[in-house]
Amino acid sequence: MSAAPAARQPADPEFLREAAARVRALAAGYEPPRFEHVPNPDAAVFLCAIDHRTGYQRGHLVGGSGPFEGSALLWELACAEERRRPGTLSAEALREVGTPEVERLFRIGGDAVAGPETRARLWRDLAAGLLERHDGSAGALLDSCGGRLGDSGGLLAKLAGFAAYSDPLQKKSFLFAKIAERRGWLTVTDPDSWQVCADNVLMRLALRAGLVAPGEADAVRAATRDAFRRVAEEADMPPPVLDDLLWERGREDPDLLGMAGGDLREPPRPEGTVFY
């Protein structure tokens, strides 16, 4: 893939219309996830914080359900432990968490999560910030935003103060906001602030559909987010629902929206990236 920066010009209107028509067809009868397996806001904010490449080698059953793979496996393991031992995923419990504890929590059947030391560091930073600014509570963090995603007092800005949520494109922040809204912990008062989470799945879809040009990872991600915002508008679909639909279907079918752009893949992740 070329290393030239991606063109940030608006996507071709014809491709946008075609993509929106395809999205509307895919959405017929589609129900986005309700995240009912996530037990509380604390679990959500701590798991979103470390929801990046997991490194699991295969799928596993958890509590007789599954098999779960990748990110879904990470969430199932941690949520199951939180249900068994309430408070496991809390600021107080994780303020001094170390690599061994993270390794144990996410180990299953001889399979281990990648980068446990980085995940432990992100958890410690998040726990310290919640304890300092929000009484150690993700619920208090949500309450402090008054329902706003955007502006300086909104949820996105508050989350950006934590290392795990410092991604300029706010992938993890939007994921947490989406879960909180679906679970009834957050009522968003500025819905125009929603964006899709431009991860590797959505980048690949956008590249192969011809909605964005190839280039460096950050530029492609920004262009992907812009393009799918316009697709959501054209399809009259909330960006979080479009995000779910494309991610669920696009993991298995990179040509879900066509391949007018050619046989392209998402650019490599920059060294040390923990955002997607």
Q: What pLDDT shows up at residue 273?
A: 59
Is 242 a domain residue? yes
Is 149 a domain residue? no
* Same-domain status, 65 and 130: yes
Q: What pLDDT shows up at residue 248?
A: 92
- Bond before 254 cis per omega within 30 degrees: no
* Same-domain status, 30 and 46: no
pLDDT tens for 184-235 read: 999 999 999 999 988 889 999 999 999 999 998 888 988 999 999 999 999 9
Domain boundary among 144, 171, 198: 144
Q: What pLDDT shows up at residue 51?
A: 94
Number of domains, the chain: 2
| Average pLDDT of the segment spanning 124-134 | 98
* Same-domain status, 19 and 54: no
* 18-22, 46-50, 251-255, 258-262: the lowest-pLDDT one: 258-262
Alpha helix (H) residue ranges in the chain: 13-26, 41-49, 70-84, 91-94, 99-105, 116-133, 138-144, 155-159, 171-182, 200-209, 217-235, 239-250
Q: What pLDDT shows up at residue 207?
A: 93
| Predicted structure pTM score | 0.88
Domain boundary among 120, 144, 168: 144
| Average pLDDT of the segment spanning 74-82 | 98
Q: What pLDDT shows up at residue 142?
A: 98
* Same-domain status, 265 and 212: yes
Q: What pLDDT shows up at residue 8?
A: 40
Q: What single DSSP character describes residue 108?
A: B
* Same-domain status, 86 and 136: yes
pLDDT tens for 154-169 read: 999 999 999 999 988 8
Percentage above 90 pLDDT, the chain: 77
Percentage above 70 pLDDT, the chain: 93
Other Cβ atoms within 10 Å of 151 Cβ, number: 12
pLDDT at residue 3 above 50? Answer: no
Is 166 a domain residue? no
Q: What gap in Å lies between CA 58 and CA 241, rounded to an integer?
A: 28
Asked whether 257 and 15 are in contact (CB, 8 A), the reply is: no
- The boundaries of the domain holding residue 92 are 41-144
